[in-house]
Amino acid sequence: MSVSMIIMPILGGGGGLLVAVTNRNPLMATAGALFLVGAVVIGVIVLIGQRSGPRRELREARERYLDYVEDLRHRLRRTVAAQQRDAAWRHPAPPFLLDIVRNPARLWERRVDDDDFLSLRIGVGARPVVVSLSMKTNDGPLHDRDPVCVEAARALQRRYTTLPEQPVHIDLCDHSVVSVVGDRATGRDLATAMLVQLVAFHAPQDVRLAVVRASALAARWEWVKWLPHHQHPSRLDGDLPARMVATTVAELFDLISAELEVRLEAHRRRRGQGSRPRQHLDHPL
């Protein structure tokens, strides 16, 4: 197609020049030569236009797409920043929990109807970005992709798929039993951090804390006795509420069995309504 665009004007100009030369007329010969040159020039211009037009369109389309990718990158950065702020607010690191307790506006801020009720931070790790990126796959001979644009889109998708070093949390409403296994010292630190979150974010009327405390670990959990969450709802120890503490699991069950029956009955009544249990009982070992 491109070769014919230049050959046809040359043939036409050559034919005109041949007619002029055959007639032995200098004026006609000059006109034929000019016609030949003009035809060649027109053919060259048409050929250059045919070749440069698609390239220009490709370059303009690429620039528009790369501008779109860059704009999307800025929007994703704002989204990721908001996600990180929300995660740091909802699930602060253990050193910041003391500030939560000191702040009356945040102390016991979570209620049973909140989405983060009984949601406790257990560590950090990679978390998915709240918005997902997908590429439309229109493969085939009529959908020839620009490799530069494809690589820019894939790089953006790889960058904003997951976020590293984000709080990882567990929802106690979905787990009736949670065990911490592994290194004993690390496990105790994790259990302590979870308990501090529990009493910092949740009110005593919504969450109660019972402790199975062996004699060898009595000193480690001594601080729990000062928590209002640790008070028995009905039993007294002298003039003060009794503490929900036992030395064995069987002894703890005897201590809390009456309240467990009340809560299980209330839970049965709410079952089928899609609501969460309105109270929770936790006990560290």
Instruction: Give pLDDT tens digits for 12-67.
Output: 556 655 655 565 666 666 666 666 676 667 766 766 666 655 677 777 888 888 99
> Are 36 and 86 found together in one domain?
yes
Distances (CA, A) of 102 to 98, 193, 224, 242: 6, 17, 18, 26
**Quick one: which of 224, 229, 236, 233 has its CA closest to 259?**
233
How high is the pLDDT of residue 54? Answer: 66
* Between residues 212 and 109, the one the model is more confident about: 109
Q: For the chain, what percent of residues have pLDDT higher than 90? A: 32
Query: Is 87 a residue whose pLDDT tops 80?
Result: yes
**At 10, is the pLDDT very low, low, confident or very high (cuts 50, 70, 90)?**
low
Average pLDDT over residues 153-163: 91
Tell me the residue range of the domain where 8 lies.
Answer: 1-90
Q: Of 41, 56, 90, which residue is a domain's last?
A: 90
Residue 59 has a pLDDT of 79
65 and 100 in a single domain? The answer is no
Same domain for 98 and 44: no
- Locate 148 and state its tokens: 């530069």
Confidence of residue 250 (pLDDT cuts 50, 70, 90): confident
Cα(206)–Cα(278) distance, rounded to whole angstroms? 6
Whether residue 146 is found in the same domain as residue 209? no
Q: Are residues 197 and 234 in the same domain?
A: no
Among residues 154, 178, 203, the one where a domain terminates is 203
In degrees, rounded to 5, the angle at the alpha carbon of residue 154 between the alpha carbons of residues 149 and 156 is 95
Structural domains counted in the chain: 3
Q: Are residues 11 and 114 in the same domain?
A: no
Residue 42: both structure tokens together: 């027109």
What's the pLDDT score for residue 215? Answer: 61
Evaluate if residue 283 carries a pLDDT over 60: no
User: From the CB of residue 240, how many other CB atoms can be counted at a distance below 10 Å?
Assistant: 8
Q: Tell me the per-residue pLDDT of 162-178, one tens digit each, with 9 for 90 and over.
A: 999 999 999 998 887 88
What distance separates the 2 farthest-apart alpha carbons in the chain?
137
C-alpha 133/C-alpha 29 separation (Å) is: 68
Same domain, 84 and 98: no
pLDDT of residue 276: 53
Q: Which of 181, 203, 225 is the last residue of a domain?
A: 203
CA distance 75 to 120: 29
* Together in a domain, 5 and 68: yes
Mean pLDDT for the chain?
A: 80
Whether residues 191 and 100 share a domain: the answer is yes
Q: Is residue 217 domain-shared with residue 163, that is, in the same domain? A: no
* Domain shared by 181 and 250, yes or no: no
pLDDT tens sequence across 166-225: 999 999 988 878 888 888 889 889 999 999 999 999 999 888 888 887 665 667 788 888
